[in-house]
């Protein structure tokens, strides 16, 4: 009987806990309508810098419904919000957020006011989406990936520049993929310090991007390109950890060191330096070719520092095509000699 009494008490407590669990799991949820466009710089800055910390803090309790107003349905929702909340013309722009009955506009007002409003609504038990026709259907549908036209519109000038450079690199590839006499004439005209100069420019570009990435600062891009869109893409990190720009820094240092050792070093190892330099030049060039393709056609934005690095790698390969092919022929000749020696030794045995 004593054991049965204890089992009954445990059963009652377990039943009470099961019934209370759903009540304790009901946490307040704050829903926000966020109107934006893919080509809005302030929207990009807000989405990439200000919203992720809020999402990380509140998790599933914070639901931000993103509405692209360049889409017909999104534009209709935006016009409904303008009418519903009587938004004056001076504030009818993006980024625009509606949380409860409050309308926030701009990349300055939203980061300043939004965190406090979220906390206030969380303490009050949460808040739903604004009462706009069709917003529930918009929130329920899966997010559509941006089209090529939308990605291109993020940075039309930078993307055009990247495509022009990509075409030039493709043409250059056809000219350096095999040895030619004009390569020898070019190599005689370009002194070794010319190669060092173009590599130093590429090293500077990679080093600048590395510093900005490690310090988590926005890079200055100038009139061409949208560097920070590229730097914040998944292609800017290797394995999600190592900045690609840091790999570029190591690569340029290795290239310059190998070039110097092949030029002024002594011994048998120094004779292999031109071959190693040529191989690394090809690897760097093909990598730059692939990254230049990704910028306009996948990411939808170009990085001027990345384009500078691509030009540097292209010139490095171009200036050293002649000595590189000579090094390849010398290596092939040595391999054939070694093969004949091993064959003759086997015959004598």
Percent of the chain with pLDDT over 70: 90
Nearest to 314 by CA among 157, 163, 162, 168: 168
- Residue 210: count other Cβ atoms within 10 Å of its Cβ: 18
Per residue in 277-315, pLDDT (tens digit) is 999 999 999 999 999 999 999 988 899 999 999 999 999
Q: Is the pLDDT at 12 greater than 60, yes or no? A: no
300 and 156 Cβ atoms separated by less than 8 Å: no
Domains and CATH numbers, the chain: 27-140 (3.40.30.10), 149-343 (1.20.1440.130)
Three-state DSSP class for residue 7: helix
Residue partners of 264: CB distance under 8 A and separation at least 6: none
Three-state DSSP class for residue 67: strand
Neighbouring-strand partners of residue 237: 243
Q: Which two tokens stand for residue 244?
A: 């690609």
Q: Which two tokens stand for residue 168?
A: 């030039």
Per residue in 73-98, pLDDT (tens digit) is 999 999 999 999 999 999 999 999 99
Per residue in 19-78, pLDDT (tens digit) is 444 444 478 999 999 999 877 888 878 887 889 889 889 999 999 999 999 889 999 999
Q: pLDDT grade, residue 262 (50/70/90)?
A: confident
What mean pLDDT comes out for the span 200-226? 88
Report pLDDT for 199. Answer: 95
- The mean-pLDDT minimum among 146-155, 214-223, 224-233, 254-263 falls in 146-155
Nearest to 84 by CA among 136, 131, 24, 147: 131
- Residue 293: count other Cβ atoms within 10 Å of its Cβ: 15
Report pLDDT for 332. Answer: 86
The strand pair at 62-68 and 30-36 is best described as parallel
Q: Look at the block and give the residue holding tokens 């990411």.
A: 299
Report pLDDT for 18. Answer: 39
This prediction has a pTM of 0.66
Q: Cβ-count burial of 219 within 10 angstroms (0-12 exposed, 13-18 middle, 19+ buried)? A: buried
């Amino acid at each position: 009987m004593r054991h049965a009494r204890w089992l009954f008490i445990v059963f009652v407590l377990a039943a009470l806990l099961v019934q209370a669990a759903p009540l304790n799991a009901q946490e307040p949820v704050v829903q926000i309508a966020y109107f934006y466009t893919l080509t809005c710089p302030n929207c990009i800055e807000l989405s990439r810098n200000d919203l992720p910390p809020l999402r990380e803090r509140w998790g599933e309790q914070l639901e931000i419904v993103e509405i692209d107003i360049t889409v017909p349905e999104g534009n209709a929702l935006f016009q409904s919000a303008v009418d519903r909340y009587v938004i004056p013309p001076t504030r009818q722009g993006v980024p625009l957020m509606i949380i409860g009955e409050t309308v926030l506009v701009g990349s300055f007002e939203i980061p300043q006011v939004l965190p406090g409003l979220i906390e206030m609504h969380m303490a009050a038990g949460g808040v739903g989406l604004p009462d706009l026709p069709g917003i529930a259907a918009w929130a329920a549908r899966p997010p559509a990936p941006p089209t090529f036209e939308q990605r291109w519109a993020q940075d039309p000038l930078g993307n055009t520049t990247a495509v022009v450079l990509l075409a030039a690199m493709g043409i250059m590839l056809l000219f350096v993929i095999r040895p030619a006499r004009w390569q020898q004439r070019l190599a005689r005209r370009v002194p070794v310090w010319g190669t060092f100069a173009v590599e130093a420019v590429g090293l500077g570009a990679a080093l600048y991007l590395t510093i900005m990435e490690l310090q988590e600062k926005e890079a200055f891009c100038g009139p061409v390109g949208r560097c920070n869109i590229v730097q914040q893409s998944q292609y800017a990190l290797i394995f999600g950890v190592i900045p690609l720009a840091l790999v570029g820094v190591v690569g340029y240092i290795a290239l310059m060191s190998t070039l110097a050792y092949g030029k002024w070093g002594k011994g048998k190892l120094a004779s292999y330096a031109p071959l190693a330099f040529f191989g690394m030049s090809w690897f760097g060039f093909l990598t730059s070719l692939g990254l230049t393709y990704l910028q306009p056609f996948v990411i939808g934005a170009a990085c001027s520092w990345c384009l500078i690095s691509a030009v540097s790698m292209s010139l490095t390969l171009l200036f050293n095509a002649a000595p590189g092919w000579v090094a390849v022929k010398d290596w092939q000749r040595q391999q054939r000699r070694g093969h004949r020696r091993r064959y003759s030794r086997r015959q004598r045995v």
